[in-house]
Amino acid sequence: MNEEIIMAGFGGQGIMLMGKLLSYAGMKEDKEVSWMPSYGPEMRGGTANCTVIVSDKKIPSPMSSRPDTIIVMNLPSLDKFLPKVKSGGTVFMNSSLIGKDVEREDVKVIKVPANKIANELGNARVANMVMLGSYIEEKDIVKPETVKKSLESVLSARNQDLIEMNVKALERGKEYK
C-alpha cells in the first residue's frame, strides 16, 4: 500500500492540521509516513497545501508529482492540483465552496459540502475534519479510531476543547464517499 495525497486550500482552513493528523495516525499504526507543508506568501487567506504519503514501504521522497488523491477546499486548489492526479485517482472537493464540476472522466470525484456541515455542527472551523472523515471512510488508509485518538496529540493545547466537535465532524464526513 502506498497512498500519495495533496491537501490544499486557503490558509486558515486547517489544511496543515488535516495533513498532520493523517500522518500522525499512520505513524501510530506503524506505517511509513511523510508530511510536507507548503505555504503561499500570506499565512491566513493565502494558499496552503501539504503532501502526505502513507505507505507500508520506505518512502523514497516526500514529493508527489502525481498524487493518488487530492483533497481540495477551494476552487483555486482544484484548478491547480486536478491536472496532477493520477488516472484512476480520487478527488475530494468541498462542494460548499466549489461550484464547478470536474471535467476528467478518469478520476473518481467525491463532493462533500464541508462548510455546510461544519456550520450545521456549529463551528465553521471543522470543515477540514468533515473532508478528512470522508477521505478516511473512502480510502481505508488508517483506522478512524486511530485518527480520533490522535486528535489529542495533534491539536494544540488551546484547542483541546474542540476534540469532541472534531470527532463529530469526522463522523459526519463519513457519510460522503
What would the pLDDT profile of 114-131 be if each residue is shown by its tens digit? Answer: 999 999 999 999 999 999
Average pLDDT over residues 76-86: 96
Q: What is the mean pLDDT of the chain?
A: 93
The answer as to CATH 3.40.710.10 being correct for domain 2-173 is no
What pLDDT is attached to residue 160? 85
DSSP 8-state code for residue 86: P
Residues near 103 by Cβ (< 8 Å), separated by ≥ 6?
none
Q: What number of residues does the chain have?
A: 177
Query: Residue 95 — very low, low, confident or very high, per pLDDT cuts 50/70/90?
Result: very high
Amino acid symbol at 134: S
Q: Which three cell numbers stand for residue 42?
A: 500570506
List the one residue out of 67, 38, 69, 34 whose CA is nearest residue 52.
34
Q: Note the pLDDT tens digit of each residue in 5-46.
A: 999 999 889 999 999 999 999 999 999 999 999 876 655 556
List the one residue out of 53, 85, 55, 87 whose CA is nearest residue 70.
85
What pLDDT is attached to residue 107? 98
Residue with cell 472537493: 93
What pLDDT is attached to residue 157? 82
Query: Residue 59 — very low, low, confident or very high, per pLDDT cuts 50/70/90?
Result: very high
Q: Which three cell numbers stand for residue 30?
A: 506503524
Q: Are 135 and 108 in contact (CB under 8 A)?
A: no
The domain spans of the chain are 2-173
Residues facing residue 77 across a β-bridge: none
Phi, psi at 53, each rounded to 5°? -125, 130
Q: Which three cell numbers stand for residue 84?
A: 496532477
Average pLDDT over residues 89-100: 97
What pLDDT is attached to residue 41? 62
Integer CA distances (angstroms), 46 to 51, 65, 77, in order: 17, 22, 11
